[in-house]
Amino acid sequence: MPLNIRTYHELTDPDRSGLGEQIATQRRRLAARLAAVGRVIVVMSGKGGVGKSFVTAHLARALARAGRAVGVLDADLNGPTVAGLLEAGTARLVVGEDAVLPATGSDGVRLVSMAQLLADGQPLAFKGPPAESFVWRGAAEAGAIRELLADVAWGPLDVLLLDLPPGMQRFLELCDLLPAPPAVLTVTIPTPESRDAVRRALRAATERRSPLLGVVENMVDGPFAGTAGADLAVEFGVPVLARIPWHPTPDTWAVLAGRLG
């Protein structure tokens, strides 16, 4: 004879733990922190090694030189490099009352990165039971990203650039965390292999209704042959915002910054 057990929703007294409400509070805190941010742009690719961090850093600097208030969140927790490119890799973070102040990098770009938090040369490792760490590590990384967005006093920004690691996982986490799907700036190199990987990323972004800003084709006029930038632009109806040569000049980045508006 089965027990007659009422369901969760049939129990009407408050849930003291209120885990759902705690999560909702986290979301509200994040939304409030980003309320003064004009645009959140993720710099992503489905492919590693195409120069996302390089593009992020130089784009941020160009925007800052053009008079914009720019922040960069290095969302590549396991391979953070953009902080070094912005010459703030070892900057210490100042702890305020309810938020941490971002470091200031090249050209006044505000920046937070796991590179600033990790001991030299150490991988990102979490305290906790090592067995079955795959169960909770993803949640821990998503929690870290949430805190880097919500617990940093970004202040009024025209643009917050998020430098993503290769793959789609971080983008999907951000879509769940942010109040609205972030705008996407896609980086590729010219090769067909890169095109195919980036295509998957762009499709995921489209499915999440993220605005597609355009494609940056990096490392052109070098050893990588192909037309990935143009192909993706046609396929997704977006512009090729820049074709970055092997040795870009400040003007290269200024043009890209200008096209982003």
Partner 1 sequence: MKFLCVECDRQMTFEERQLPGDGTLAAAFRCPKCGRAVALLTNPMETQLVSSLGVKIGGATVPAEPLETIRGMVATGREDAFTEPVGRSDGRTVGLSWSAEAQDRLARVPGFVRGMVKKIYADYAKERGIDEITPAVMDAARSELGLEEM
Helix, strand, or coil here: 74? strand
CB of 171 to partner 1, least distance (A): 20
Alpha-carbon gap, residue 31 to 21, rounded angstroms: 15
- 91 versus 198: smaller Cβ distance to partner 1: 91
Q: Is 31 in the site for partner 1 (CB under 8 A)?
A: no
Give the CA dihedral 148, 151, 152, 155, nearest 10 degrees.
130
Measured CA to CA, the distance from residue 131 to residue 156 in angstroms comes to 42
Question: Which residue number, 99 or 168, has a Cβ lying nearer to partner 1?
Answer: 99
Site membership for partner 1, residue 5 (CB under 8 A): yes
| Phi/psi at 113 (5° precision) | -150, 150
Give yes or no for residue 118 binding partner 1 (CB under 8 A). Answer: yes
Stretch that binds partner 1, among 57-65, 131-139, 164-172, 188-196 (CB under 8 A): 131-139
Decide: is 209 part of the binding site for partner 1 (CB under 8 A). no
Taking CB under 8 A as the rule, does residue 2 contact partner 1?
Answer: no
The verdict on 247 binding partner 1 (CB under 8 A) reads no
Decide if residue 1 touches partner 1 (CB under 8 A): no
Rounded to an integer, what distance in angstroms lies between the CA atom of residue 145 and that of residue 17?
23
Classify residue 18 by burial, with Cβ atoms within 10 Å: 0-12, 13-18, 19+.
exposed
Nearer to partner 1, 140 or 254 (CB): 140
26 class by beta-carbon count within 10 Å (0-12 exposed, 13-18 middle, 19+ buried): middle
DSSP 159: E
249 near partner 1, rule: CB under 8 A: no
Q: Is residue 246 near partner 1 by the rule CB under 8 A?
A: no
Judged by beta carbon, residue 129 or residue 237, the one nearer partner 1 is: 129
Does 148 sit near partner 1 (CB under 8 A)? yes
CA–CA separation, 211 and 14 (whole Å)? 39
Binding site for partner 1 (CB under 8 A): 3-6, 8, 11-13, 15-19, 22-23, 25-26, 92-96, 98-101, 116-120, 122-129, 131-132, 135-137, 139-140, 142-144, 146-148, 151-152
